[in-house]
Structure 1
């Protein structure tokens, strides 16, 4: 009797078949088009609704170039639609490194705060310099964006990452080539996206979905307390999550690893052995996010404040699982339990995420984005770029790299 009542209400809720038919149970078992709602877990039903709504509203990008990101370029340049003056650049010169392109020759301030980062930027600028008009621009190589939405007249400064509180113009991070975070496993800094694409794809085939460990995984330093809930859940329930803090350059004591000894670093390739990979922001947007997708694992992306240029094309419940930055241990536990109960959906989302990054974040897409961005930016300059009156500029030829 109890079984009949539960089955009746389940059928009414999902409205997929006539419960009066004798083969209703077997038909329920064979339904694959839609997930089965849970009568007793409101949060799970809300997640399923979010997933189905996202799928209904999503239109995949079918362009075979960087046009998937055109809206980002247009939005970032919108504050400067009335033109960019020489005085605007002059007022922004302390916020980054100045680059000038004249007659296909690239010049830069002789002083670069982060040489490896400048080198990573220059790799792309040198590739496209012959296809660009003359330019004058300020490129920020710090982690933090520079142009607040709330203070004064916006100045044109290029930054790799920002939140909605900033008006910086996003560019593809230097780390696609050189100068990413330096850790013991990557002492020269995380870079060479082209190489990582190949090695992570090899791991994707070595560790298919059914071979991966069905637990959450994270390794990283404690750059934000947002990561603490996952770490504490791992200590409490290691069969659900394997997460631990590692050292970073600022490590001073066990307080920096939440009062445990720092864990050993784990290579990006080894991440591919786990089904569920957690991504957190660092000081700004995380450099690891794009790498995690290529494992073919399901990415749990925590918080939505920080962006890189390609983030807006990645959709929650389509390419990744969204997690609130304030999520508690129990929130994360419940989310992982939900995903485990819907393994087919998890695999589907993971594969869509991997395919998007593989198809639309190639090295040629990065070069394309730089070219499209700078061509549109150049049209906003209301002056002719010149080296006259500008001291300490050196020509960048590629020999410095």
Structure 2
């Protein structure tokens, strides 16, 4: 890979990272003025100057065409966009059926199907390791360990389970409400549910995070108790996006967030060098103690997610695990730079690079990514995934679940 004429393998990782960011932003700016589909293609002969094989653009026709030398550096990106769009087929599902995510569930449960199910011994060995809360469903009642490290997170999860409790068989499961997954692939798999993981590194079974209802993340002072309900936030962001159509958005990359991952540092440093290109600053979080925690600059003020919709280019990074902001950013109808896509939530695998997020969608704005989240991530789809997950998981339990008297019953909250 070349970045401004320098071989990528010879560059420091941070330098390469910044270089690629600049190239991608410039690429979107260039192609917004000259749409790829509007470029006139003329056949030429191999000996002609600037004559290139059309195969380099992803075509197998064998024809050759003229290419402006100034466009050559962008051609790999255009090729990737065209290739991704040829291969991509949009998911078709009715709201509340969540069929788009069936393959995610199948992949997560495959290891336990191959093992013939989950034995009582396997479950209790995992339980003894303290990797999450013990839940049971007995006679359509929900029970949980008396202590939950993050009460609001447990409550956010329990909201969805209680909605479908009448349709669930008896079962028990371990639910990890921490950020970090608990079943690494260098060891035998553990039957534990976690909201996020890396496929190549963890056995954890993904569940829809508590944040769809409550439990964080808290953003001071805008959202001191958490971002709040996804169904309400969807509507708010959709209205805000309509106020600022693509042509009226600021042609600048934007990021606000705390320093939960050093992966974010290069963009922050780039912004300090060139504020016309990128506006990226660190904010406080609950662990902030000094300016060292915001890369030796005073923390910036928080900016609402609705305010993000004023910018054409929005950045998403992993935090401790997957970042909760991703689904919100898409609804701004801005172009999303999703940096480091190895960390997943249950709906991420259906989001495709070059189709839904940077590098670049075909129409070079955020409508394709926005449409996927808007059409396929309703609250009904979240509830549906919980139901499918727990029903399929229950089929893997190879023993009769007996009520644990040490667990407390969880009742719906009074409205």
Q: TM-score, normalised by structure 1?
A: 0.84
Aligned to 2:118, which of 84, 103, 118?
A: 84
Correspondence for 1:296: 333
Correspondence for 2:192: 157
1:130 has 2:166 as partner:
yes
Aligned to 1:198, which of 214, 219, 235?
A: 235
SS at match of 1:345: coil
Correspondence for 2:378: 362
1:48 has 2:114 as partner:
no
Deviations 1:57-109 (A, max 9, x none): 00110122201000000110011111111122111221100110011111111
Shift of 1:191: 2.7
1:37–1:45 contact (8 Å) kept in structure 2: no
1:236 has 2:273 as partner:
yes
1:183–1:248 contact (8 Å) kept in structure 2: yes
Between the aligned partners of 1:145 and 1:313, the Cα distance in structure 2 is 21
Q: TM-score, normalised by structure 2?
A: 0.81
Unaligned runs of 5+ in 2: 1-38, 46-58, 60-65
Shift of 1:392: 2.2
Correspondence for 2:88: 58
1:38–1:45 contact (8 Å) kept in structure 2: no
Between the aligned partners of 1:382 and 1:192, the Cα distance in structure 2 is 36
Between the aligned partners of 1:166 and 1:376, the Cα distance in structure 2 is 20
1:118 has 2:134 as partner:
no
Between the aligned partners of 1:278 and 1:351, the Cα distance in structure 2 is 16
Unaligned runs of 5+ in 1: 1-13, 21-33, 323-338
Between the aligned partners of 2:414 and 2:135, the Cα distance in structure 1 is 15
1:346 has 2:364 as partner:
yes
Quickly say closer, same or farther: Cα 1:109–1:43, change in 2 above 3 A.
farther
How do 1:181-330 and structure 2 match up within 5 A? Answer: 181-184=217-220, 185-322=222-359
Between the aligned partners of 2:370 and 2:74, the Cα distance in structure 1 is 25
Correspondence for 1:9: none
List 4+ stretches of structure 1 deviating above 3 A.
Answer: 17-20, 40-43
Provide the alpha-carbon RMSD of the alignment.
2.0
Shift of 1:38: 5.2
SS at match of 1:395: strand
Between the aligned partners of 1:18 and 1:42, the Cα distance in structure 2 is 17
1:76–1:169 contact (8 Å) kept in structure 2: yes
Between the aligned partners of 1:16 and 1:41, the Cα distance in structure 2 is 13
SS at match of 1:68: helix
